[in-house]
Structure 1
Amino acid sequence: MKIPKRIQPLVDDGLVDEVTSQLMSGKEASVYIVRCGETIRCAKVYKEISQRSFKKAAAYREGRKVRNSRRARAMEKGSGFGRDQQEKVWQNAEVDALYKLAAAGVRVPKPFGCFDGVLLMELITDDEGYVAPRLNDVVIPPEQAIEDHQVMMGYVVKMLCAGLIHGDLSEFNVLVDEYGPVIIDLPQAVDAAANNNAEWMLARDINNMRDYYGQFAPELLTTEYAKEIWALFEKGDLKPDSELTGEFTEADTLADIDSIMQEIDSARIAELERRERAKEASDGVDESKFNWAEPQ
């Protein structure tokens, strides 16, 4: 196929030898299958901010630090230079998260570097060599659902111990190969210690997984992993190999307070995202979902 303009510099530099097909086009990036020597990989091309529907909501950016004070000031003011720097921080967040999580024992695609807004990484395939399906596209026996859910809870714990929360974890951001689930799409990963929305985002990630796997194993729907994991994290007792039960007991009064705070957090995040959308309304919105296809 014709080489996309953004990938051409990688071809010129010998990092990519051939673009074989487009794998998907999503709200923040397009992904292509590429050949690098004898190895097949994928290239994630981040869309320009004016072409994206996901606008890096303030709730996700909170807590991300920039060492260069000039860049930080420009990002706060929203100048042209500042927006360019914010874009680089957004893209580098995914690369940094991939390296950090792989080192922590979380299954993610292996990164090979980010070059001017193009992330080269491992192509996850099934046991027949085809592109691995998303979790949303597979039917799972009850026993397998319980096993894979436990694996995912283990990954969430390892991520949290590494200081990160995915922030957008769902059945659409998990691939399934012959060895089990693989977590993808991490540009919005948040700092668990510095982001005030961390607890809310962690609970949403965990409950998304609970609800999805619970379709196949209903007993999972009554679990309370989100509260159990966060309680251990707050106490400083959470370890990568912590044994979880999925159970959590709290006093009725505390439960009521927790419910109220949850509603406050939800309203605050909704307002932050509304302001973000209003600020960038002139950029246009495309709500199309991912379209996955097997390599041609």
Structure 2
Amino acid sequence: MGSSSTHSFLCSGALLIMSGSLLPDSFFSYVEQADLEPGQRWSTWDAIGVLAGPEPWPDWVITADAAIDSELGILKTGKEADVFLLERATETEAVVLAAKRYRGADHRLFHRDDSYTEGRVVRRSRDRRALAKGTAYGRTVQAGQWALAEFGYLSRFWSEGLPVPYPVQLDETELLLELITTVDGETAPRLAQTRPDADTLAAYWEQLTDAMRLMARMRLTHGDLSAYNILATGERIVLIDLPQAVDLIANPNGMDFLGRDCRNVCSWFAARGLDADAEELLAELVAFCW
């Protein structure tokens, strides 16, 4: 549609509004998308049903209705979700976020087993039945449950001061997160991809065990903790991938998951020369649970 026809279309719409006539949905759809390029959308921050991250919101979170979200490409793929880079920008400010999108029912390969979710409550009986039967609807519910669980745990952990990405918002199965970067502005690598010197290794270990102690006081453990679910920014570590966090009391397998988390991280640090004993760490963390 050319500029002159666009002008006529909009003017006609204005006349219809002034005359009290009802405009077709296609008119509003056109106006909403008229100025957007492919791969862009209006910010979903204030959309109905979207959950915002915990307050106080960090200064870099953009809440303006006029902000535009632009796709920048994929960051990583996974069996359950893919993570994309997304820029949210206005005329005066911009921020790049990580958009974690849990896969649709036809393209998902969940490897989490039921032992993670024991003790969790699914309120709707229809959802419980669908999850138990593994139907297509049940798989859709499952994706929503994992996304909601991750948003909830991230919100709690961030509010308690744990080193996790800030959860900007949740829109159904799309979770927008703070993008963790190095001091140079590059996307932070996983701890498993780094070779820290002795001092940095010791600093990472102190940060990690402090975080594990705080989670244990909350009677929770990561549930899938390893050097692959920890990002290293150069000065600090950040824990990621938290939809399966386990309640140490409500879940009968809680202590098993805690023990596995301890063994995984201790084995990685010990292999790099640090004195890290899994049994000692486990005993210390268990004491915080009671």
C-alpha distance 222-204 of structure 1, shift in aligned 2 (>3 A): closer
Root mean square deviation, CA, Å:
2.5
User: How big is each residue's C-alpha offset from its partner over 1:198-246, in whole Å with a ceiling of 9 and x where there is no partner?
Assistant: 101111112211111112224224762012211442xx2xxxxxxxxxx
Aligned to 2:101: 45
* Among 119, 131, 135, the residue aligned to 2:187: 131
C-alpha distance 193-221 of structure 1, shift in aligned 2 (>3 A): closer
* 1:190 and 2:246 correspond: yes
Provide the secondary structure at the position in 2 that maps to 1:220.
Answer: coil
- Which amino acid in structure 2 is aligned with residue 20 of structure 1? L
The question of whether the paired residues in 1 share the 8 Å contact of 2:83 and 2:101 is answered with yes
* Among 76, 86, 102, the residue aligned to 1:24: 76
Matches within 5 A, 1:77-226: 77-221=133-277, 224-226=280-282
The question of whether the paired residues in 1 share the 8 Å contact of 2:162 and 2:214 is answered with yes
Aligned to 2:25: none
Which residues of structure 2 form unaligned runs of 5+? 1-36, 48-65
Q: CA deviation at 1:151?
A: 1.2
Provide the secondary structure at the position in 1 that maps to 2:275.
Answer: helix
Q: CA deviation at 1:78?
A: 3.8
Q: Which has the higher contact order (CA 8 A, sep 6+)?
A: 1
Q: What fraction of aligned residue pairs are identical, expressed as a percent?
A: 32
- Which amino acid in structure 2 is aligned with residue 110 of structure 1? Y
User: How big is each residue's C-alpha offset from its partner over 1:1-23, in whole Å with a ceiling of 9 and x where there is no partner?
Assistant: 974xxx96867977652111211
C-alpha distance 51-26 of structure 1, shift in aligned 2 (>3 A): same
The question of whether the paired residues in 2 share the 8 Å contact of 1:16 and 1:36 is answered with yes
In the aligned structure 2, how far is the partner of 1:127 from the partner of 1:140? 15
- Which amino acid in structure 1 is aligned with residue 76 of structure 2? M
In the aligned structure 1, how far is the partner of 2:119 from the partner of 2:162? 23
- Which amino acid in structure 2 is aligned with residue 164 of structure 1? L
Q: CA deviation at 1:61?
A: 1.6
Larger helix proportion of the pair = 1
Q: CA deviation at 1:50?
A: 4.4
C-alpha distance 67-220 of structure 1, shift in aligned 2 (>3 A): same
Q: Under a length normalisation based on structure 2, what TM-score does the superposition of the two structures give? A: 0.72
User: How big is each residue's C-alpha offset from its partner over 1:114-148, in whole Å with a ceiling of 9 and x where there is no partner?
Assistant: 21311111100000111011101111122322221
The question of whether the paired residues in 1 share the 8 Å contact of 2:191 and 2:230 is answered with yes
Matches within 5 A, 1:53-68: 53-68=109-124
